[in-house]
Chains A and B, each alone.
Chain A
Amino acid sequence: MAAFIQFTFMRAAMALITLLTVSLIVFTLMEMVPGNCAERYLAFKNTQGAQITIDDIKAEERRLGLDKPFIIRWGQWVGNVFLKGEFGDSCILRLNINQLLKDKFWISLGICMTALFVAYLIAVPIGMISATSNNPLTNHSLRFISYLGLALPNFLLALIIMLLSTVLFGDSLTGLFSKEFRDAAWSWARLQDFLSRAWLPIFILGWSATAFALQTVRALMLDEVGKLYVTAASARGISGRRLLWRYPARHALGPVINSLGFDLNRIFNELPIVALILTLTESGALLIEALARSNDQQLAGAIIFLLTASIVFLNFITDIMLALMDPRVRRGLMG
């Protein structure tokens, strides 16, 4: 038990180091944008009719702490993020980023996690069936579907569905809320409205994730099914689904759990584009807005950091889960 706690601490420390490195990358990106917050604030005042001098900018920089060296400012940013969960203000929108993001980030994360969950819910049983069946038709069609999942970009799928629904139902199914619920507080009716629309982004995001997961599960099962311990088990009279679940699946699904973090990464990759097409109002759309239109690096940095943090967190959880499930991993990691 002590060894397990030690392993957990080690993994947590590694996750923290990764997050620190990521925060350095993100912060550097934010800093590289020409012009700083002081100039932006005062440029805004300038549009309101105030006269601005160089000294005003210098004073504003001092007030915001922008005259300190890069490393110290990074330290402050990281400290605020890690200890207080505070991302500061967006200097273009002049709003607190936490307030701006709060709901939207959780909605995005919820959609992506659900898509991931649905993908594996479909991929695990079908992948196992296709690995054990000798029917060439099943195998070929599954292979084809997986490749299509890789090649057919998600936004194209979204477009096709939009086209069909516009023609058939006269509603483009875009957005996350109907008009009357857009700014309302969370309630049962709003949740229902949300769910009636969220299935489309979940389906679209889950589409290529399913294709990837299907390929992974199938390949891993194929590797395990032919091994001797499976033959031995079936010689003892275990057969059918019981055999598959108890023996090869337990080995094959280990690496699958391990790769969940990277699947989430892939889904996050698709999120901004799908958000753009379906005009979702969540953090993917906000990210595009921040980067492509307003060049708001504080907001963009916060979103990218949050997305990465959720991947790192998922990786941490899956590693712990794997160690709990598989004694070999535990022993291997703890030497």
Chain B
Amino acid sequence: MTSTTANPTAADQKLKEAYFTASQGQLIWSRFKSDRTAMIAGWALILMVLTGVFAAPLSPYDPTIAGRDKNYENGAPQIPKFWDENGFSARPFIYSTERQRSIQTNFRWVTTINRDKRRYVQFFVEDWEYSLFSFEWDLPGKTFDFEVKLLTFNTHLFGVDEGGIHLFGTDASGKDIYSRTLHAVYTSLAVGTIGVMISFILALVIGGVAGYFGGWIDSVLQMLTDAVRTVPAIPLFMALAAFIPAEWSSETRFFFISIILGLVGWPTLARRIRTHLLTERSQEYVLAAELCGASSSHVIRKHLLPSFTSYIIVDLMISFPYAVRSETALSFIGLGLKDPVNSLGALMQNVSKADVLLNYQWYFIPVIFFIALVLAFVFVGDGLRDAADPYSGTKK
């Protein structure tokens, strides 16, 4: 290759050297970087993951019923302003609201906005307490329950001096939709992550065993994989989710739903791993390793697995939006997560009511986050798939 260039400069040489000695990871990264859509989606994804992880410090109110604002139920979004007819303010403000009920309002609660009374936005206010790292193990029964809470704070990014601020409005019980959305992003991501991890481990074991050993083991496992793959996933999810007893706590439900997602999602990946192993294990380098006396576990770990790590990562990324979508669908039907756990699906449960459709359109704001999340995953997954394919540059 180098002989074709007549007089390579030192810089050229260096670039070329960097290219030829680059690891697979570096090559993938450099290809991924040049895909603008995927990069933007990647940043958006990182941003959303971070808002999910730091949901508690970013949200002014507790997303559960404890943080409800009983004076502002089904309230419209309040957007902070810097000026109005009463003058300019360096500190953003919203208007205060009053709620009254009298003979004029036909004895219904009516909220009015008082434009003369401002609520100023404060930063780093101290309010309800949260832990950035908390773990709760709550199985049915008492013996195995335990709870860990670390990094407990009570500072929140913003709030108002008096009354409440609801950027995305409130729902029927006065819960802040903004706080709920941020927490829901976290929950949906967490469910998706656990689900994808479980299905990944299952796929690795089942696909790996089928692909490596072949023969009748392969045939039996293929039969099982095909059967599970043919059953429509959402009805199967629903059937499994119907086992959850109504009296289980919401945290246990959360765990169980993640496990269900994992139990149903493995066949596609398992099949791919099997096919890859079948082609790869007849290659010369595997034969060479075997002739040198390497055990099968050594061959799998040191030779076969590294040969398709990048494909696995890409596959995981691609299966992520499906896990998130499945969770949302389950919760939407009412078989998945329920109050007080906030997930994107649980938040969307209310939007199909005619009342909401006509009067309270801000219930739809979490839907935007859901679409953004799924789109970001799809774009990043596509970008990674193209980047991990060594022939992607040569194809048209």
Interface residues of A (CB under 8 A from B): 17-18, 21-22, 25-26, 29, 32-33, 147, 150-153, 155-156, 159, 162-163, 166-167, 172, 222, 226, 261, 265, 268-270, 272-273, 276-277, 287-288, 291-292, 295, 297, 300-301, 303-304, 307-308, 311-312, 315
Contacts and interface: CB of A to CB of B under 8 A. Distances in A.
B352 A147 contact: no
Interface in B362-396: 367, 370-371, 374-375, 378-379, 396
B1 interface: no
B357 A159 contact: yes
B300 interface: no
B230 interface: yes
Contacts of A22: 227, 230-231
Interface stretch (B183-191, B200-208, B235-243): B235-243
B357 A163 contact: yes
B32 interface: no
Contacts of A17: 223
Contact of A292 (B226, B230, B334): B334
B232 interface: yes
B328 interface: yes
B358 interface: yes
Interface SS, B side: helix
B396 A303 contact: no
Interface in B310-332: 321, 325, 328-329, 332
A86 B31 CA distance: 57
B374 A150 contact: yes
B39 to A, nearest CB: 16
- A269, A295, A312, A315 pick with most chain B CB within 10 angstroms: A269
Interface SS, A side: helix
A81 B113 CA distance: 64
B333 interface: yes
A159 B358 CA distance: 11
Contacts of A25: 227-228, 231
B348 to A, nearest CB: 8
B233 interface: yes
Contacts of A32: 243
A153 B378 contact: no
Contact of B232 (A147, A159, A222, A304): A304
A277 B353 CA distance: 9
23 contacts: A17-B223, A21-B223, A22-B231, A25-B227, A26-B239, A29-B239, A33-B242, A33-B243, A155-B332, A159-B351, A159-B357, A166-B357, A222-B396, A269-B329, A272-B235, A287-B235, A292-B242, A292-B333, A292-B335, A297-B239, A300-B238, A300-B242, A311-B232
Contacts of A21: 223-224, 226-227
B293 to A, nearest CB: 36
